[in-house]
Structure 1
Amino acid sequence: MSKKSRKKSSKAPSGSPTAEKKAPKTRASSQAKPAKTQRTAAGKSVAIIAKAGSHKAAPKQLNSSKLAPSPAGAKSGLAEGDKAPAFRLPRDGGDVVTLGDYAGQKLVLFFYPRADTPGCTREAIDFTRLAGAFSAAGTAVLGISADPLKAQEKFRDKHSLGVPLISDQQHQMLEAYGAWGEKSMYGKSFLGILRTTILVGADGKVVRIWRNVRVDGHADAVLEAARSL
């Protein structure tokens, strides 16, 4: 056999074990590369969506829920001399209270942010302390917040409050009397109850409005104003 013949015969045929051993390696490598690309692309896509959802979407939704005005409006143009807006709302004990229930007498409406918080507790206790003096001056007193009746009753019982507490969970009365609007705390803005007190005269008209109330001495000042009518 010649040298050329021996060299040709030394090459493995296409169907030999050697050729088959190499072929899978080539096919595996050609398939692995696209698979890696797909996994990487999918991984990047998921990471972008998660980042967008946690960093942008949630705060945007939170801000809109805090800052968007309510359908009835967050502010009221109620002024001294205006006719007091009518209302009909539940109070502690399960009864319903209306403005008409106090026709012909003076009425104090004090709006407080939340039952059983420090400032609101002091204010409600002060009006309770002066309840007899208000009655002697021909003046009824009502406390109003957005707390549910159960919370109002718990608040009443815990501090032995002697003034009716109204629940305005839909903010209808709060908005009508200008006690619902934008507030800020720790650099964040939100809608909530503005501590406000309204004195209504026996003729049903607003006599005095106290906005941004400071609790200390406030109930005494309102009593003096009621006595002066």
Structure 2
Amino acid sequence: MPMPQAGDKAPGFSLPDQSGATVSLSQFKGRHVVLYFYPKDATPGCTTEACDFRDEHSALVKAGAVVLGVSPDSVASHQKFATKQGLPFSLLADPDHALADAYGVWGEKSLYGRKFMGLIRATFLIGPDARVVRVWPKVKVAGHVAEVLSALQGGPAAESKPAAVKKAAAKKAPAAKPAAKAAARKGARG
């Protein structure tokens, strides 16, 4: 299935988390949901990403979001991973990758020239109305959680401006700088 895009209705789900409790998208109606897909528990990149979400969890909650991690691992694997890393959010078990399929993140991957089917690391920010607000396809772990938090807080990462607009803004900005620098230098000497 294709990956849902901003404005699309988020595919619903009902999956067990690391404690065996059933977690459904519908139970978070009226709140933002950060739904992040990761390939495997207790692997280097996935551990870093989970710990980044853990470390920013209170800020994400304060910004009005619920964090949910999803991988094809079992409930028992999730429980071990969450306990070891002290994760304060639910990890959903998707062993038949039905949810990954629904979000278009189950696909062909390649490692050392070998092709195989697997989970593509991606994050979806789902709005209080259960519509997709933002998609991060093919996530790079470094700095990702900060981008998600910024999007939730309505920061610069929340806006996807076309490149032409960014370039035009960049051209205008330097014109004001020389005068400001000169004033700053005067003030420093004065």
The corresponding residue for 2:108 is 182
For residues 133 and 200 of structure 1, the distance between their equivalents in structure 2, rounded to whole angstroms, comes to: 17
SS at match of 1:225: helix
Matched, 1:84 2:15: no
The corresponding residue for 2:62 is 136
8 Å Cα contact 2:3-2:105 kept in structure 1: no
Q: How does 1:1-229 map to 2 (within 5 A)?
A: 75-228=1-154
Q: CA deviation at 1:76?
A: 2.1
Deviations 1:30-74 (A, max 9, x none): xxxxxxxxxxxxxxxxxxxxxxxxxxxxxxxxxxxxxxxxxxxxx
8 Å Cα contact 2:30-2:128 kept in structure 1: yes
8 Å Cα contact 2:36-2:123 kept in structure 1: yes
The amino acid across from 1:201 in the alignment is G
For residues 11 and 32 of structure 2, the distance between their equivalents in structure 1, rounded to whole angstroms, comes to: 14
The amino acid across from 2:21 in the alignment is D
SS at match of 2:141: coil
Change (3 A) 1:77 1:143: closer
For residues 88 and 76 of structure 1, the distance between their equivalents in structure 2, rounded to whole angstroms, comes to: 20
For residues 169 and 88 of structure 1, the distance between their equivalents in structure 2, rounded to whole angstroms, comes to: 13
Structure 2: segments with no counterpart, 5+ residues: 159-190
TM-score (normalised: structure 2): 0.79
Larger Rg: 1
Change (3 A) 1:224 1:95: same
The corresponding residue for 1:54 is none
- The percentage of counterpart residues that share the same residue type is 45
The amino acid across from 2:30 in the alignment is G
**Greater alpha carbon shift after TM alignment, 75-84 vs 152-161:** 75-84
For residues 224 and 183 of structure 1, the distance between their equivalents in structure 2, rounded to whole angstroms, comes to: 29
Deviations 1:185-220 (A, max 9, x none): 111111100000000011110011101111011011
8 Å Cα contact 2:108-2:117 kept in structure 1: yes
For residues 77 and 178 of structure 1, the distance between their equivalents in structure 2, rounded to whole angstroms, comes to: 4
TM-score (normalised: structure 1): 0.66
Structure 1: segments with no counterpart, 5+ residues: 1-74
